Each structure stands twice: as C-alpha cells, then as structure tokens.
Structure 1
Amino acid sequence: MKNILLFGAGKSATCLIDYLLANAPRQKWHITVADSDLMLIKSKIGKSYYATPAAIDIKDQAVRQQLVQETDLVISLLPPALHIVIAKDCLKFSKNLLTASYIDPEIRKLEKDIEKAGLLFMYEMGLDPGIDHMSAMKLIHSIEKKGGQIFCFKSYCGGLVSPESNDNPWQYKISWNSRNIVLAGTSGATYREKGKVKEVEYQQLFDQSKTIQVPGLGKLAYYPNRDSLNYVDVYSLGNIPTFMRATLRYPDFCEGWNALIKLGLTDDTKKIDTNNMSYFKWASQNIKVDKQLSNEENIAQFLGVSSKSKLVRQLKFLGILNGDLVNQGEQTNAGVLQNVLDVRLKMEPSDKDMIVMLHEIEFERRNMATKLHSYMIVQGEDNLRTAMAKTVGLPLGIMAKLLLSGNLSLKGLHVPVMPEVYNPVLRELEEHDIRFEESFE
C-alpha cells in the first residue's frame, strides 16, 4: 500500500482529502493528514479506514521528518513560507513533492539538487497557479501545431462569491486563506502590452476602470497579477507583444479595496498597539480628523466621495467606522483587517463561491487574425466544498494518482505545462464538471 502525507487541513484541503479517500480502496493508498488542529483533521477525514490524523507542530523537526521518512509522496498545502521546510525534508529523504503554491527563489536554489536526486517537485499544481497553466498550454500547443502565430495572450482568474450568495456591498466572501486576500497585489504588477513593459505600483493596482465581459456573468473588473513576464518563457511565447495574467473581481470590490489601501489599512510593515483603540481611530489613523464632522463624513472627505456613497457603505459594513474597540494587542494594520474580514466577509453554511477563469488568445494563421476565448465557471456546493477547494485540491489529487501509478517519468522542479501532465489532469477534471467552453472571433 502506498502512503500519501498531506501537510495542511485548511480550507483548500477539503476536496483534495475527499478525492484521496474516494480513490484509496482502488488505488491502494493510505493518507496521513498533518495539521496543528486535530479536530479540524478529524472533521475532514471522518472515520475513514484509509486516513490517519497527525496533530503536529510543523516546527517540530523530529516528528515532521519521521512522517516524511515513512511516506511515498508528500503534498503540502501549508502557508507558502513553510513549503521550503517541507521541500528540504523531501530532498533529504528522497520523496516526491506536490504543492499548489508558486515556485519561489528559495526552492529555485534547490533545483539542481532535486534533479540530481531524481525526484519530482511539482509546484503550482492548483487553480491559479495550476489549471491556468494547463489549460493555457493546451490551447497554445494546439494553435502552434496548426501553424498559428500568437501575438496576444491574456489570462484572467478570480475566486468570487456565486450570484445567489452575493448579498453584501463588497460583492465578496472569503473561501480561502484571508491573509492571502489582504496581501494580494502588494508587490505590484508587471506585464507587457503592445510591445511595452508596464509596471503598476500597488497603490494604483486597484484603481480600476478596466472590465471584461464574461458569458453569463456580465462585466467583471480585473487587475494585473504579480510579474506576468515570469511566465513568457514558461509558456514558450518569447517576445510576444502582449502578455498579461490578471485577477478577476466584481467591480465594487476593487473600488472598496482601493479605499482600504488609501487609508493604509493593508500595510503589514509596522505594528501598532490596538488595545483600547476604537475601530474608527484605527481606520482614520492617516487622516486629520475634524471633530465637527461625523465619522462617515471624515472618511468620505478624505476619500473624496459623499458620506452617502457606496464606498462609505462598504466601510460601515466592515464595522470600522464605529467606536467599538479593536483590542488585538500589538498588530499590523493588515493583521487587524484580516480579522475584520474573517468576521464580516465570512461564508455562511449555505453560501456558495464561484471560480471564473478566462483566456483570450489572439493569433494569426494563413494571414488571418483570430481571437480565441476559452472560459471556465465552477460553482461550489457549500461553504466547505467550495469551488476554490475543488479547483485547488482536485489537480493535486489527480497528479498524485498519476505519479503513484507509475505513469509519469518526469523528474526535477516543474510547473504543469507539459502534455503528459495537462492532458490526463484536464481530462479527469471534466469528470468533476471543471471544463472550458471555447469560442472564436
């Protein structure tokens, strides 16, 4: 029997665990789920014969390495900063590793060692990054095989609230790690448009007027995501004139988030003492407050809007314009905001989320320009089996099956852009209603 070790039992792990347990009898594998929260693990694995809970402190090297040593495959859904710890353990004990997180400079340093050890470390094997790479490469390879020359590539993806659960002024609810939401975009963005490299600072990133039409949903706002140009060579698109990867949101979210940035509430660099500090004092720490005005009027004046505006309604909804006390001790603004969002924008048990992904590829073939649209919409079942959990977890599960069945000879540090990975993974994802629709202009 093969053994799979999964680090992390959080929001994104639910559907992965379901998949691994459903396939365990046929595939003859056993799953150990390691997390600091024993009750959380048990809530995910139930009383399955094929799963074992392991409540551990990830910093306990002896316990952690014992688990790694005893397994055949490691999957990590830990916070990104902890992947390098698991990666080094996997290298030490010659174990293959799968994760949904981005390749970072730390893991790049181990690239030659991973290859020399004959191991496979597959990173970016989730949704975005993950399904975006696989679906894009399938399209790119198909176009190029038919003699098409690609001159514009744009890829968009967003985790959104499903229309029937879209009932707050932010048009957003949290279906994944809220810290990632708070810090999204802080490094700014870089992309290429019509041959020119564009760099956007964080302070301007959400100041959005750009929208895109999505079939069945209407207009969604988008903002460029990280450094898109890191993927030009990964996708083998060389000096393509236009190349951009972007994040999708409902327009109201981008407008509201831009206000939070202007207020300095997403800053994660310095800590402040929040004890006995009111939420309004916290929210207005960068404002010269006029005591003759109401809280709403002070904030509105700073943002240059009416006190009856949608932006002020959004901030009131978060509960940060009142006199309630923060009382979170020494905390960064981003930390306070994360706690606020966890309460105010949480998904209720009956809520559903939604994933939207869209590729726009313009290419020329036989002197004729063509625009290809390929899009995917996935809806969650409830607040546990979310669209986010499905689209992050299922590619990892399918990849685990590919690897443990011996059908993959790939070695080294990779992201899933090769046909021997994306073809079987995308094919099986369709069995779970995760599929793309295509149209041409």
Structure 2
Amino acid sequence: MKNILLFGAGKSATSLIDYLLTNAPRQKWHITVADHDLMLIKSKTGKSYYATPAAIDIKDQAARQQLIEATDLVISLLPPHLHITVAKDCLHFKKNLLTASYIDPEVRKLEKEIEKAGLLFMYEMGLDPGIDHMSAMKLIHSIEKKGGQIFSFKSYCGGLISPDSIDNPWQYKISWNARNIVLAGSSGATYREKGKVKELSYEQLFDHSKTVQLPGLGKLAYYPNRDSLAYMDVYKLNNIATFMRATLRFPDFCEGWNALVKLGLTNDTEKIQTDQLSYYNWAVHNIRAEKAASHEDAVAHYLGVSSKSKVIRQLKFLGLLNGDVINLGEQTSAGILQHLVEDKLKMEPADKDMIVMMHEIEFERRNMATRLHSYMITQGEDNMRTAMAKTVGLPLGILTKLILQEKISLTGLQIPVMPEVYNPVLKELEEYDIRFEESFE
C-alpha cells in the first residue's frame, strides 16, 4: 500500500481527489487529505475506504510533520506562501513533493539539497503553470526536431465562464482562488516583442488589452503575464524576437478591471477602517468626487466614460455605487474587493466554467515561414467539478501515478518541460477531453 498526502481541499482539489480515489483500489493507494476544514474534506472524499480526512492547522508543526513522515508522496494545493513550510519538511523526511504553484525564491534556495537527497520536487504541475509548459514544449521539440527555426512564441490561457453561463456585465465568474484574481497583474508584466523588451505597469496592463480569435468563441482579450522573459531560458528560446505568455478574458472584463485599477480599488498595502464606511465612499476615496453629482456621474466623470456606460453598469453590479455599509473591520482595498467578487461573481450550482489555452508559434523551415496555432477548450460539469479543477488537479494526479509506478526517474527541483513527463501526462489528459487542436498558416 502506498500512502499519498494531499494538503488543501479547496476549489482546485475536487478532480484531483476524484482521480486519486478512482485509482486507489487498483494502484493500492491510501489518500490522506489535510485541511483546516473537516466538513470540506468530507464533502470531497465522501465515505471512501481509501481516504482519511485530517483536520489540521498547517502551522501546527507536530501534526504536519507526523503526516509527512508517514506518507510516500506529498501534493500541496495550499496557498503559495505555505508551500515552503511543506517543502522543508519533505526535504527533512525525504519525501517527493508535487504542486501546481510557481517555483518561488525560497524553494529555489533548497535546490542543491533537493538534488543531493535524490528527491523530486515538481512545481508548476497544474494548468497555467503546467499544461501550458507541457503542451508548448511538445510543440517546440517537434518543430526543432524537424529543423524548424522558431522566431515568435505566444502562449495564452484563461479560466473563463462558459458562454451559456454568462449572466452578468463582467462576463466572468470565479472558478478558483478569488484572492489570486484580485491581485492578478499587480506586479505588471515584462515580455519581448519584435526584438524589444516591453514593460507594462499594473496601471497600463488592462489598458493595453489586445485581442485574439478563438475558433467557436470569437474575440478574447489578453494581457501579458508577470515576467515572460524568465521562461525564455526554460523553453530554450533565448534568442527569438517575440516571446510572451498572457492571460485570456472576455473583453468586457478587462475594460471593467481597468476601471477598478484606475479607482485604486485593488491596492493591497494600505489598510482602511470599513466599519461605518459605505461602498460608494470607499469607491471614491482616492478621487475627488463632485458633491452635487450622482454617484454614477461622479465616478463616470473621473473615468472619462458615460454614466450609462457598460463600465458604470459593471461597478453598480458589484455594489460599488450604493450606500450600503461595508463593516468588515480593517481591510485593504484588495480585501474589500475580494469580499465583493466572491459574493457577486460566484458560480451558481448549475454554472459551467471553461478553460481556454492557445499557443501561436511562428517558425521557418526550408525558407518557408509558418504559423502554428494550437488550442484547447475544456468545459466544466458544474460549479464543483469545474474545468479549472480538472486542468489543475489531473496533471498532479497523473504524475503521482507515474512516480508511484516508478515510471519517472527524475530528481531535483523541476517543472514539467521534459518528454518523459509531458508525453504520458498529455496522452492521459486526452482521456478526460483535455486535448489540443492544431492548424497551420
């Protein structure tokens, strides 16, 4: 019997837990799911003979280490800042670790120790990052193997709402961590375009939204992600003229979010006392609003839009222009906004989300320029078994199986860019309708 320990039973864990429990009888696994919320764990594991719920505080060192010492492999779906705590324990007890989060500077400091211990710490093994790396590297390696010279690489991914479930002016609902959505883009973006490094501040990011066409979906807006340049070396595309990784949204979302940024409502540093503070007074606390003007007119004037515009409708939908009192104690603006979007943009039980990913690669082979489009559109089943949960959780589950079957011999701190990982994982993902279509121009 092999023991698997999963930290975190939140939104992204549902499909992973389903996968592990489905495979448990045949593979002879037992799965321990650890989270602070016992009822949440039980809602995901049911009464399975192959699962043990463990309600613990992740900061309780003795409880955490007892679980890690007793297992064969650890998967972490905790908030990113907590991974390092688990990683240090995995190193101490010599356990392999898988997570969907980015490699951070703290775990990077452990790189030599991880390698020396002969362990595999696989980070970025979810959707984006994860499936994006695997599908991109499969294309890149295939083009290079046939003698193609790549000169432009663009990769796009978005967690969206299915068009059938759109019923609000934002064209968006939350299918994953709301805090990550509120803070997305806050560090700006860096990428390369036609040989020049481009840098966008947070204030410029949504203002510069451009669009791409997706088969069956039409026009989607995109904004560049964080530091795209950091992946040029990972993908071995250091010398190409254009390299960009970007997030996809329906165009209305970017327009509305740009207004929130302009109003200063995404700030996560300055704390505000919200008791007795109305949402409208919070919404205009960074601007000089005309006293005589209606709430709509005052905000519209500052944003340079009509009081009847779509943007004002979006702000009204979130409840920003009414006199309701916030009453959340001391909060940052980002915290208040998170509270609002979790309420106003939540998925209803019958809602379905959608994951869209696309790679655009331009390359030259035998003096002929070619553009390759590779895209994947995956729909969720409902508000629990979401496309986001599938695409984040299944790659982790499949790699867990490969490791415990001893089909993977990798060690060290890694992300999934090698054929021995991406080939079997992408192949099995197709069984779950997570597959890419390709076209050439």
TM-score, with length taken from structure 1: 1.00
Query: Which residue matches 1:246?
Result: 246
Q: Distance in 1 between matches of 2:288 and 2:361?
A: 48
Query: Which residue matches 1:78?
Result: 78
Letter of the structure 2 residue corresponding to residue 237 of structure 1: L
Query: Which residue matches 2:419?
Result: 419
Letter of the structure 1 residue corresponding to residue 241 of structure 2: P
Check the 8 A contact 1:208/1:255 in 2, yes or no: no
Query: Which residue matches 1:13?
Result: 13
Q: Distance in 1 between matches of 2:288 and 2:109?
A: 47
The answer to whether 1:158 aligns with 2:161 is no
Deviations 1:319-356 (A, max 9, x none): 11000000000000000000000000000000000000
Query: Which residue matches 1:267?
Result: 267
Larger displacement relative to structure 2 (351-360 or 202-211):
202-211
After superposition, where does 1:255-404 map in structure 2 within 5 Å? 255-404=255-404
Query: Which residue matches 1:410?
Result: 410
Q: How far off is 1:207 after superposition?
A: 0.5
Letter of the structure 1 residue corresponding to residue 318 of structure 2: L
Query: What is the DSSP-based 3-state SS (H/G/I as helix, E as strand, rest coil) of the residue aligned with 1:346?
Result: coil
The answer to whether 1:221 aligns with 2:221 is yes
Query: Which residue matches 1:118?
Result: 118
Query: Which residue matches 2:433?
Result: 433
Query: Which residue matches 2:131?
Result: 131
Letter of the structure 2 residue corresponding to residue 289 of structure 1: A
Query: What is the DSSP-based 3-state SS (H/G/I as helix, E as strand, rest coil) of the residue aligned with 2:216?
Result: coil
Q: How far off is 1:209 after superposition?
A: 4.2
Q: Distance in 2 between matches of 1:265 and 1:209?
A: 19
Letter of the structure 2 residue corresponding to residue 149 of structure 1: Q
The answer for unaligned runs of 5 or more in structure 1 is none
Q: Distance in 1 between matches of 2:271 and 2:287?
A: 18
Letter of the structure 2 residue corresponding to residue 21 of structure 1: L
Q: How far off is 1:167 after superposition?
A: 1.0
Q: Distance in 2 between matches of 1:228 and 1:370?
A: 23
TM-score, with length taken from structure 2: 1.00
The answer to whether 1:181 aligns with 2:181 is yes
Check the 8 A contact 1:189/1:224 in 2, yes or no: yes
Q: Distance in 2 between matches of 1:291 and 1:285?
A: 13
Q: Distance in 1 between matches of 2:292 and 2:220?
A: 39
Q: How far off is 1:26 after superposition?
A: 0.6
Letter of the structure 1 residue corresponding to residue 253 of structure 2: F
Deviations 1:389-423 (A, max 9, x none): 00000000000000000011100000000000000
Q: Distance in 2 between matches of 1:238 and 1:297?
A: 49
Q: How far off is 1:291 after superposition?
A: 1.8
Q: Distance in 1 between matches of 2:264 and 2:185?
A: 14
Distance 1:209 1:39, change over 3 A: closer
Query: What is the DSSP-based 3-state SS (H/G/I as helix, E as strand, rest coil) of the residue aligned with 2:285?
Result: coil
Query: Which residue matches 2:191?
Result: 191
CA RMSD after TM alignment? 0.5
Q: How far off is 1:187 after superposition?
A: 0.7
Query: What is the DSSP-based 3-state SS (H/G/I as helix, E as strand, rest coil) of the residue aligned with 2:26?
Result: helix
Q: How far off is 1:208 after superposition?
A: 3.2
Q: How far off is 1:234 after superposition?
A: 0.5
The percent of aligned pairs where both chains have the same amino acid is 80
Letter of the structure 1 residue corresponding to residue 317 of structure 2: F
Check the 8 A contact 2:100/2:392 in 1, yes or no: yes
Letter of the structure 1 residue corresponding to residue 431 of structure 2: E
Letter of the structure 1 residue corresponding to residue 252 of structure 2: D
Deviations 1:272-301 (A, max 9, x none): 100000000011101212221110110101
Check the 8 A contact 1:100/1:130 in 2, yes or no: yes
Letter of the structure 2 residue corresponding to residue 171 of structure 1: Q
Letter of the structure 2 residue corresponding to residue 349 of structure 1: P
Check the 8 A contact 2:209/2:223 in 1, yes or no: no
Check the 8 A contact 1:373/1:438 in 2, yes or no: yes
Check the 8 A contact 2:359/2:374 in 1, yes or no: yes
Q: Distance in 1 between matches of 2:420 and 2:237?
A: 20
Q: Distance in 1 between matches of 2:72 and 2:302?
A: 57
- Runs ≥4 residues deviating over 2 A: none
Q: How far off is 1:50 after superposition?
A: 0.2
Letter of the structure 1 residue corresponding to residue 40 of structure 2: L
Query: Which residue matches 2:203?
Result: 203
Query: Which residue matches 1:42?
Result: 42
The answer for unaligned runs of 5 or more in structure 2 is none
Letter of the structure 2 residue corresponding to residue 342 of structure 1: E
Deviations 1:150-185 (A, max 9, x none): 000000000000000011000000000000000000
Query: What is the DSSP-based 3-state SS (H/G/I as helix, E as strand, rest coil) of the residue aligned with 1:173?
Result: coil
